[in-house]
Amino acid sequence: MKQIVRVAAGQGFWGDDLDAPRRQAEGGEIDYLMLDYLAEVTMSILQKQKERDPAMGYARDFVDAIESVLSAITERGVRVIANAGGVNLPACAAAVLEMAKARGAAGKLKVGVVTGDDLLPRIDELISAGHELANMDTGEPLSKVRGDVIAANAYIGSEPIVEALARGASVVITGRSTDTALTMAPLRHEFGWAADDWDKLAAGIVAGHIIECGAQCSGGNCMYDWRNIPDLANVGYPIAEAAADGTFTITKHAGTGGRVSVPTVTEQLVYEMGDPTSYITPDVVADFTTIQLEQAGENRVRVHGIKGRPPTDKLKVSIAYRAGFKAVGTLVYVWPDAVDKARAAERILRERLDRLGLRFDHILAELVGHSSTHGPLAGAAGDVPEVQLRFGVRGPDRKAVERFTREIAPLVLNGPPSVTGFAGGRPKVEEIVAYWPALIDKTQVRTRVEIIA
């Protein structure tokens, strides 16, 4: 058994720094490269892509990421774990293997494919069997929006990833696995942690939470002493160096920018946190109030003391449904009296929409540069040099939202003066794909692991 297992994070979301995986693989010693591609609504975007083209539906960037670390996998034995498969895991695996073949590495990759998270084909069956899939926030049953559902995926845990690793996969691809399982699974695999070794599993989850957002724990988006965090242009992505006893150290490769310190790690720990005593995952419930951090050298934070307890008998399900349309338009009003001009333009626009008989579920006008993010807390603006009027509407009627998008530009000539910043053209109408979180009995979800070479 290895004394220390190094799990390096190479992507914090779909759209993160494309070069980060390569830097993690080449910058020093690592055992696993963990790539997190999924945010709450990513699966629905992938589902839409698959509807347009049956060969799509996974994170295409992932194939490039694997290509950029191919020699690390085939020559140094680095193994990759990623929730990049989206709603089309076979296509994702095939694309990876095809790329490897083209690069002369045919037969050198073993791709482990974890399926079973996709509940979309089973929704009606589940509902008629009495599984309401009620919205966790509102309590409404899914039947209310059933016709608009476009994706439904259970968040799955570490079990099938551990199995894929045990069966020799060098690249493990999942659909909607939890972000944290991608880090915990290799530790469980390497150290042979039992499925009821709650404290160690919880430690693996905490390690996963710290590194799952990439550089956000190693100096990125860090408020503490931000001016003095060095070389963010070359920011080092995080690495969890874990031991069999469930303790670990967060660090980054030598010679990289950014910073790993108690404050940078603490900021990431509280990110998107709910009740800290109950961080619920499919494998374990981790208690974040037990985490102990200490600086253990430059850019090294030691993490220990973590307690866990048994999980619930449910899995969370991420459901995406079509929920109408929206559009947001902007104009910039300039000194003198920029705020008053922008407010006047807002009033005129509201009145025109009203006269046109356009009805929306919601209209929101913000003044960027004045109060768009801090609201009334921002206080009086004074006579600011410029302010951006940001005007948005949403509603069920696409035509009404489209009509709205034609009402912005005319204001430049027929509204209040000293206005600019409309060169981008008409605002785009966007279909809203909303998120419906629900729970399902664990017994209803069966995962499968397939190894493809």
- Interface residues with other proteins (CB under 8 A)? 40-41, 137, 221, 223-224, 263, 266-277, 288-293, 305, 323, 326, 328, 362, 364, 366, 368, 372-377, 390, 392-394, 432-435, 437
d(C-alpha 254, C-alpha 17), whole Å = 19
Shortest gap between Cβ of 393 and other proteins (angstroms)?
7
Q: What is the CA radius of gyration of the chain?
A: 24
For other proteins, which is the closer residue by CB, 159 or 267? 267
Shortest gap between Cβ of 414 and other proteins (angstroms)?
24
Shortest gap between Cβ of 436 and other proteins (angstroms)?
10
Shortest gap between Cβ of 288 and other proteins (angstroms)?
7
Task: Look at residues 152, 172, 138, 190 and name the one whose alpha carbon lies nearest to residue 66.
Answer: 172
For other proteins, which is the closer residue by CB, 44 or 251? 44
CA 46 to mean position of chain CA atoms: 13
For other proteins, which is the closer residue by CB, 11 or 42? 42
Shortest gap between Cβ of 41 and other proteins (angstroms)?
6
CA count, 13 A, side-chain hemisphere, 349: 29
Tokens of 424: 């981008």
Partners of 327 in beta bridges: 393
Q: Which residue has the tokens 């694997």?
A: 66
In contact, 212 and 182? CB cutoff 8 Å: yes
In contact, 309 and 284? CB cutoff 8 Å: yes
For other proteins, which is the closer residue by CB, 163 or 267? 267
For other proteins, which is the closer residue by CB, 266 or 444? 266
For other proteins, which is the closer residue by CB, 77 or 139? 139
For other proteins, which is the closer residue by CB, 72 or 389? 389
For other proteins, which is the closer residue by CB, 318 or 447? 318
Judged on CB neighbours under 10 Å (0-12, 13-18, 19+), 313 is exposed
For other proteins, which is the closer residue by CB, 216 or 256? 216
Shortest gap between Cβ of 181 and other proteins (angstroms)?
18
Strands laid side by side in the 279-280 sheet: 279-280, 285-287, 307-309
Shortest gap between Cβ of 277 and other proteins (angstroms)?
7
Q: Which residue has the tokens 């980060």?
A: 20
d(C-alpha 54, C-alpha 379), whole Å = 52
Q: Which helix (H) or strand (E) holds 211?
A: helix 198-211
Shortest gap between Cβ of 291 and other proteins (angstroms)?
6
3-class secondary-structure state, position 393: strand
Task: Look at residues 103, 12, 11 and name the one whose alpha carbon lies nearest to residue 65.
Answer: 11
Shortest gap between Cβ of 160 and other proteins (angstroms)?
25
For other proteins, which is the closer residue by CB, 98 or 225? 225
Shortest gap between Cβ of 339 and other proteins (angstroms)?
16
The DSSP 8-state label assigned to residue 272 in this structure reads: T
Q: β-pairing, 32-35 with 149-154?
A: unpaired
3-class secondary-structure state, position 285: strand
* DSSP per position, 320-346: EEEEEEEEEEEEEEESSSHHHHHHHHH
For other proteins, which is the closer residue by CB, 114 or 154? 154
Shortest gap between Cβ of 343 and other proteins (angstroms)?
17
d(C-alpha 181, C-alpha 354), whole Å = 50
d(C-alpha 7, C-alpha 208), whole Å = 9
Q: Where are the alpha helices (DSSP H) in 103-197?
A: 123-128, 159-166, 181-191
